[in-house]
Amino acid sequence: MADRTRQLKELASRLPFARERRPRTPPQATALEIDGTTLRAAMAGTGGKIARVAAIPLEFPADADRSDATVVGKAVGRALEALKWKPGAVVMGVARARVVLRDFVLPSGVGAGELASLVHFQASKELPFRTEEAVVDFQICRELPAPVPAPTPSGDDAAPGPVPEALPSRLDVLVAAVKADEVAFHTRLAEAAGFRLAALGLLPAGNARSVAALHPDDGTSACALVTLRPDDVGIEVVAGGALLFSRGTTLKPPAESAPPTAAAVIEVVRSIHGYAGDATHPPLGLVLVAGATGNEPELAEALASRLGLPCQVADPATALQLPADASGAALGALGAIGLAIAAVDPSGLPIDFLAPKRPPVPRNLRRIRIVVGIAATVGVALAVLALRTTLVQRRAAVLAATLAELADAEKKAPTYRKLIQQTAVVDGWIKGGRDWLEHVAYLASVVPPSEEIYVKSVSIGGNGGIRLDVQARSGETLARLEKQLRAAGYDVKPLAITPGADRFGYEFRSTVELAVPEKLRVDLHQVKPPPRPIDDVSADPAAYRRARG
The listed range with the strongest mean pLDDT (407-416, 453-462, 518-527) is: 407-416
Q: Are residues 242 and 322 in the same domain?
A: yes
Task: Report yes or no on 310 lying in a domain.
Answer: yes
Note whether residue 257 is domain-resident: yes
Contact call for residues 508 and 499 (beta carbons, < 8 A): yes
Q: What is the CATH number of the domain that holds 338?
A: 3.30.420.380
**What is the CB neighbour count within 10 angstroms for residue 113?**
17
* 307 within some domain: yes
pLDDT score, position 183 = 94
Task: Provide the pLDDT confidence category of residue 386 given band limits of 50, 70 and 90.
Answer: very high
Same domain as 193, residue 106: yes
| Cut 0.75: pTM above it | no
pLDDT at residue 436, as a whole number: 78
- What is the C-alpha to C-alpha distance for residues 422 and 417, in angstroms, rounded to an integer? 9
Domain residues for the domain of 448 are 433-548
Sequence-separated (6 or more) residues with CB below 8 Å from residue 22: 198, 199, 348, 355
Has residue 161 been placed in a domain? no
The pLDDT score that the predictor gives to residue 10 is: 55
In a domain, 415, yes or no: no
Distance CA 46, CA 250 (A): 37
pLDDT greater than 90 at residue 235: yes
Q: Are residues 58 and 198 in the same domain?
A: yes
**Percent of the chain having pLDDT more than 90?**
32
| Polymer length in residues for the chain | 549
- Lowest average pLDDT, out of 59-73, 227-241, 317-331, goes to 317-331
Is 316 in the same domain as 241? yes
Same-domain pairing of 370 and 437: no
Q: Which of 269-273, 322-326, 427-431 has the largest mean confidence?
A: 269-273
Q: What is the pLDDT of residue 8?
A: 54
Q: Are residues 59 and 182 in the same domain?
A: yes
Give the residue from 343, 373, 392 where a domain finishes.
343
336 exposed, middle or buried (CB, 10 Å; 0-12, 13-18, 19+)?
buried
Q: Are residues 235 and 328 in the same domain?
A: yes
Residue 532's domain is classified under what CATH number?
Answer: 3.30.1360.100
User: Could you tell me if residue 283 is inside a domain?
Assistant: yes
Strands in 128-207 per DSSP E: 134-144, 170-179, 196-202
- b/e 289-300 (16+ beta carbons within 10 angstroms → b): bbbbbebbebbb
Cα(510)–Cα(508) distance, integer angstroms: 7
Domain match, 203 and 316 both: yes
In a domain, 159, yes or no: no
Task: Give tens-digit pLDDT for 79-136.
Answer: 999 999 888 889 999 999 999 999 888 888 777 778 888 888 888 888 888 888 899 9
Q: Are residues 131 and 198 in the same domain?
A: yes
d(CA 414, CA 421): 11
Is pLDDT above 50 for 18? Answer: no
Residue 383 and residue 255 share a domain: no
330 within domain boundaries:
yes
Q: What is the pLDDT of residue 20?
A: 47
Strand order in the sheet with 242-250: 242-250, 232-239, 222-228, 284-291, 311-313
Burial classification of residue 205, based on how many CB atoms lie within 10 Å of its CB (0-12 exposed, 13-18 middle, 19 or more buried): buried
The reply to whether 117 and 87 lie within a common domain is yes
Q: Rounded distance, CA 393 to CA 413, Å?
A: 30
Strands 170-179 and 508-515: unpaired
Q: How many domains does one find in the chain? A: 3
Q: Residues 248, 394: one domain?
A: no
Q: What is the pLDDT of residues 357-377, one digit of tens each?
A: 888 777 777 888 888 999 999
Q: What is the mean pLDDT of residues 63-79?
A: 91
